[in-house]
Amino acid sequence: MPRQIGVEDAKGVKNDLFLEVLRDEAVARLNELGKVSDSDGYLERTYLSPASIIAGNIIRSWMEEAGLRMWVDQMGNVHGRVDGMNSSAKSLLTGSHLDTVIDAGIFDGALGIISALSALKVLNINEQLKKLKWPVEVIAFSDEEGVRFQSTFLGSAAIAGVFTIDFVQWSDSAKCSKRELYRKYDPESVWGYIKLHIEQGPVLESVGLPLGMVKGIAGQTRIKVTVRGSQGHARTVPMSMRQDPMVAAAELIVLLESICKRLEDFLSYDDQCKGFSM
């Protein structure tokens, strides 16, 4: 734990302490949280599992140390809040998800929670936490990955107010229904949301940059495509007369990859990306 500082401490001592909190302690906490797992030998911490409960309690203790008011909502999201100078103002939210995929890395999710708590802890040490112009709330979201119930973003869906009753119909592999775990959570109005996240790709490393600002997010669309063909004898149907659906599917896959790699060769769109055509 970093040492406590007094009035008589020099400015250099404070700077050293801030470095301890923002770097050394943050790294130690990432490693500590990375060991809280439901499995031996790798990191697995799914929604409301025993390891998830333990990790949530650890995060609550770190929130208390940072000077935050804590609570856990009915979806299992762990909250830590400082009201600042205007408790009635809309809140700035930060944080990330507490759960993991199977055989996860220690930075995914945890980095956004721990870095936010480290920043607020430094403000608390420097007696600036209560001088914030609006409330700041750190949230450790209970579920993003969807490993347990195959339904992603349960915790953040409740916060955003898009959680529907349909989500509680499914069961996990142990036949434990989400209906047994869920009570309705009314989301609060917020000013904005920001978080730090590890890049899950090679771009920053390839250009030699330690940090990047996200200007947009990836959207996912899943569609089901059926490719039909005709059966024929393997030896007697000429190649010119065959209609093999696997060959057609392969051509579709290659075409889609080409479109994604060279979008300008296939699509035209306006500057605001409001529409496009092939």
- The pLDDT assigned to 273 comes to 53
Q: What is the mean pLDDT of residues 193-197?
A: 90
CA distances from 123 to 46, 63, 116 (A): 32, 13, 11
pTM for the predicted model, two decimal places: 0.75
Of residues 202, 118, 109, the one with CA closest to residue 156: 109
Residue 37 phi, psi (nearest 5): -140, 155
Give tens-digit pLDDT for 114-173.
999 999 999 999 889 989 999 999 999 998 888 887 777 877 777 777 766 565 555 555
- The pLDDT assigned to 260 comes to 86
Q: Give the pair of three-digit tokens for residue 202.
A: 């090679």
- The pLDDT assigned to 267 comes to 73
The mean-pLDDT minimum among 51-60, 150-159, 241-250 falls in 150-159
The span from the CA of 117 to the CA of 140, in Å, is 11
Going by the DSSP 8-state scheme, the letter that residue 241 receives in this structure is G
Of residues 216, 76, 54, 213, the one with CA closest to residue 139: 76
Of residues 184, 163, 145, the one with CA closest to residue 49: 145
Q: Give domain 11-207's CATH superfamily.
A: Zn peptidases (3.40.630.10)
For 111, counting Cβ atoms within 10 Å of its Cβ (0-12 exposed, 13-18 middle, 19+ buried), the class is buried
Listed by start position, the domains of the chain span 11-207, 223-278
